[in-house]
């Protein structure tokens, strides 16, 4: 699902790791013309819409919540700068191991 969104909007998911509890780690490669805010908005908005449409039972759980959102409004972003993609991918994988 996230790769389809990335293809549609012109960025790449280089690495994805789903956290143990309630978070996702992504390594995204995007051209400078795309803002981080838009990428996060597309990923969160479209995945929530599609999941609720494909699995309506999720709505009865999440929409009972006061904020009525699947995703938290917050996110953390860091540019990898001079570090290569392999190093960041290893870091993301190591986060999963720490959570166990």
At 63-95, the pLDDT tens digits run: 665 556 778 888 888 887 777 778 878 877 777
On whether the CB atoms of residues 48 and 37 are closer than 8 A, the answer is no
- In degrees and rounded to multiples of 5, residue 56 shows phi and psi of -55, -25
The model scores a pTM over 0.85: no
Structure tokens given for 89: 């991918």
Domain 2-99 class, CATH top level: alpha beta
Band of residue 100 on the pLDDT scale cut at 50, 70, 90: low
**18 strand-pairing partners:** 24
Structure tokens given for 29: 């490669």
Q: Where are the beta strands (DSSP E) in 2-100?
A: 12-18, 24-29
> Active-site residue 62, yes or no?
no
pLDDT tens for 11-60 read: 999 999 887 777 888 999 999 999 999 999 999 999 988 988 888 777 77
Is the pLDDT score of 4 beyond 60?
yes
């Amino acid at each position: 699902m996230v790769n389809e969104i990335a293809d549609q909007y012109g960025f790449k998911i280089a690495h994805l790791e789903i956290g143990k509890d309630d978070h996702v780690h992504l390594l995204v490669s995007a051209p400078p013309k795309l803002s981080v805010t838009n990428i996060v908005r597309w990923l969160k908005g479209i995945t929530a819409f599609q999941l609720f449409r494909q699995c309506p039972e999720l709505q009865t759980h999440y929409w009972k919540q006061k904020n009525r959102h699947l995703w938290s409004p917050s996110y953390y972003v860091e540019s990898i700068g001079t570090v290569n993609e392999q190093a960041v991918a290893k870091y993301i994988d190591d986060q999963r191991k720490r959570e166990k």
